[in-house]
Amino acid sequence: MKLKMEEPDLERESLKEKKLGYSIHSCSSYSNGFIPQHIQDDRPKEQSSRWSSGSNIPPQWILLKLERPAIVTAITFGKFEKPHVCNPKRLKIFVGMDENSFMEVLDTNLKNDSTEENFHVKHTLNKAFLPSTLIKIQPIQSWGNNFNYSIWYIELKGDDNHRIVSHSIQLMNEDRERETIRLCLKHFREHNYLEAFESLEKRTRVQLEDTILTQLHTTLVKDGDYDGVERIVCKCISDGIMDGYVSHQQPKPVWEPLIFPEEQDVTPTTGLTPTSSSIPLTSDDSDGFLGIGLCSSKNIDSTSRAPLD
């Protein structure tokens, strides 16, 4: 009888952080005596207990390999007992299961002092935990100009629970496969390989895009129906699909004349010239009205009062 492994509920599962063991996989370069293995020991009083790059020409990096795949949630940077010109001012951290699948999880600045700093790193992707085996640390800028980069101590925290990590790896591989199929579908449709497109879509049951986008593509590209495209867009607006996009747009004024061209020869009874717009009146707390107007030939930047009678 074949037993099915129980899948963890990632939405309710809480990670149990602990210190993760690691080894030095490789590095871009190092100076004599400042080997990367030094970062595994926290010795803030020893100036030689650090990894120092052999150059400040980017990219410079150090690559760590976990003892077993894990969900990395936090990283701690230990420092020298006093400020140092080689301390990183800015750095990035990448994680991945191999050297060809790194993903950036942190871009941060470090202080030039003697206090260790802790950072939480991104550890979820598409509502699933992000597993990793390799951790890449890439200094971007040091506190001293034209100085090499130095890292004194690194501690990693996370959860290496086999049940959670294995399921996360499975989800990540499935997601990667879906994205690969979508790229193939996109390529087939762009080059009009419709038979291959339909066959792959039917066999894999992977949807390239939302049905509205498919309808929009068919109406515009295949049918050339511009009126139909406008109807689809208007329906999307009325259904609230574009509310998120519209809310991020800057408002633009639309000016309309209050005196239309055919009325230019009529002298307004309010005493305004034919080229000026009417002045809207609003009531104030005193015994008059406050009016503000616009004129097409000159600026009206003052307020006027009119008696209530």
Distance from C-alpha of 1 to C-alpha of 3, rounded to nearest angstrom: 6
Q: Is the pLDDT of residue 280 over 60?
A: no
Residue 232 region by backbone torsions, left for phi larger than 0, else alpha for psi between -120 and 50, else beta: alpha
Distance from C-alpha of 182 to C-alpha of 196, rounded to nearest angstrom: 13
pLDDT in the model for residue 28: 96
Residues 192-228: tens digit of each pLDDT:
898 999 999 999 999 888 889 989 999 998 899 999 9
Q: Is residue 25 within 8 Å of 97, Cβ to Cβ?
A: no
Distance from C-alpha of 10 to C-alpha of 8, rounded to nearest angstrom: 6
Taking the alpha carbons at both ends of the chain, their separation in whole angstroms is 97
Distance from C-alpha of 93 to C-alpha of 64, rounded to nearest angstrom: 11
pLDDT in the model for residue 295: 53
Specify the amino acid at residue 187: H
Q: Is the pLDDT of residue 290 over 90?
A: no
Joined together, the tokens standing for residue 206 give: 């992977």
Q: 304 pLDDT band (50/70/90 cuts)?
A: very low
Specify the amino acid at residue 136: K
**3 state DSSP class of 62:** strand
Q: Environment class of residue 299 by beta-carbon count within 10 Å: exposed (0-12), middle (13-18) or buried (19+)?
A: exposed
Place of tokens 């499935």: 174
pLDDT in the model for residue 7: 46
pLDDT in the model for residue 267: 55
Comparison of pLDDT for 20 and 309, the residue scoring more: 20
**3 state DSSP class of 73:** strand
Reference 93, options 38, 42, 151; nearest CA is 151
For 161, residues 6+ apart whose C-beta sits below 8 A from its C-beta are 15, 16
Q: Is the pLDDT of residue 299 over 80?
A: no
pLDDT in the model for residue 1: 32
pLDDT in the model for residue 302: 46
- Average pLDDT, integer, range 14-42: 95
Handedness of CA 44, 45, 46, 52 (dihedral sign): positive
φ, ψ of residue 229 in degrees (nearest 5): -60, -45
For 220, residues 6+ apart whose C-beta sits below 8 A from its C-beta are 226, 229
Could you tell me how far CA 51 lies from the centroid of its own chain? Answer: 31
Residues 225-278: tens digit of each pLDDT:
999 999 999 999 899 998 988 888 888 888 887 776 666 655 555 544 544 444
Joined together, the tokens standing for residue 23 give: 């080894």
Reference 56, options 24, 36, 25, 30; nearest CA is 30
